[in-house]
Chains A and B, each alone.
Chain A
Amino acid sequence: DQQVKQNSPSLSVQEGRISILNCDYTNSMFDYFLWYKKYPAEGPTFLISISSIKDKNEDGRFTVFLNKSAKHLSLHIVPSQPGDSAVYFCAAYGSSNTGKLIFGQGTTLQVKP
């Protein structure tokens, strides 16, 4: 039962362009959604989050959009930089069980110079 899905295993974009990473979920009880970034041989690091009461959250070059009716969220990186090349995980949890993050499979982003 894959409650959080990232259907694109990989994405390649040119430096300076926009990167859009997508994530779908099935559990309507999820209240919070997070994006984590992971470099090889390192643990995931928190990037940005959004509460289900919002539809957009922005932090510098990173913006997360949430469409609750479609059970879909996306991460936009503008402009993309080579240092953004990493695996990006979408994760979600319900406020009744804070901390039990359910992760997607991850999307490998490659930003070409």
Chain B
Amino acid sequence: EAGVAQSPRYKIIEKRQSVAFWCNPISGHATLYWYQQILGQGPKLLIQFQNNGVVDDSQLPKDRFSAERLKGVDSTLKIQPAKLEDSAVYLCASSQEASPLHFGNGTRLTVT
């Protein structure tokens, strides 16, 4: 089966600019997650979708981050405006019920 697809792989922007990441989960996986991994730390959940509804966004900085999952398939994560501390790898993952998460290769964001 095809894995979780993410694009772009790398992005460099200046602070205060905006950026968007795209994720296509494994076919049939109802649950989609966005994680942020800062260098030297473990991944941290930003938002979890079940189909196209939000299950958990308690750790999403809503003043600058937004995410949507239209039609319960693809998802986009947006940052506007970006800050230096947003430099990280943004990982998308998907899962079926009660199965381990499958991660994409991530988007490495550098904010200068």
Residues of A within 8 A of B (CB): 4, 6, 34, 36, 41-46, 49, 89, 91, 97-101, 103-106
Is B100 within 8 A of A46, CB to CB?
Answer: yes
B43 on the interface (CB 8 Å rule)? yes
Considering only residues 45-73 of chain B, those with a C-beta below 8 Å from chain A are 45, 48, 55-56
**Whole-angstrom distance between the alpha carbons of A104 and B43 in the complex?**
8
Q: A89-B43, A99-B31, A100-B45 are in contact. Are A43 and B100 (CB under 8 A)?
A: no
* Min C-beta distance of B2 to chain A, whole Å: 14
Is A46 within 8 A of B102, CB to CB?
Answer: yes
User: Looking at chain B, what size class is its interface with the partner chain?
Assistant: 20 to 34
**Whole-angstrom distance between the alpha carbons of A70 and B96 in the complex?**
31
**Whole-angstrom distance between the alpha carbons of A45 and B4 in the complex?**
11
Is A43 within 8 A of B104, CB to CB?
Answer: yes
The list of the 8 closest CB pairs from A to B, nearest first, reads: A103-B42, A43-B103, A46-B100, A43-B105, A103-B43, A44-B103, A43-B104, A105-B42
* Min C-beta distance of B110 to chain A, whole Å: 14
Contacts of A6 in B (CB 8 A): 42
Chain A proximity mask over B15-53: 1 for CB below 8 Å, otherwise 0: 000000000000000010100000011111100100000
Q: A34-B100, A43-B106 are in contact. Are A105 and B56 (CB under 8 A)?
A: no
Is B41 within 8 A of A101, CB to CB?
Answer: no
Is A41 within 8 A of B103, CB to CB?
Answer: no
Contacts of B45 in A (CB 8 A): 100-101
Contacts of A106 in B (CB 8 A): 41-42
Is A99 within 8 A of B48, CB to CB?
Answer: yes
**Whole-angstrom distance between the alpha carbons of A105 and B39 in the complex?**
10
* Min C-beta distance of A104 to chain B, whole Å: 5
**Whole-angstrom distance between the alpha carbons of A43 and B104 in the complex?**
5
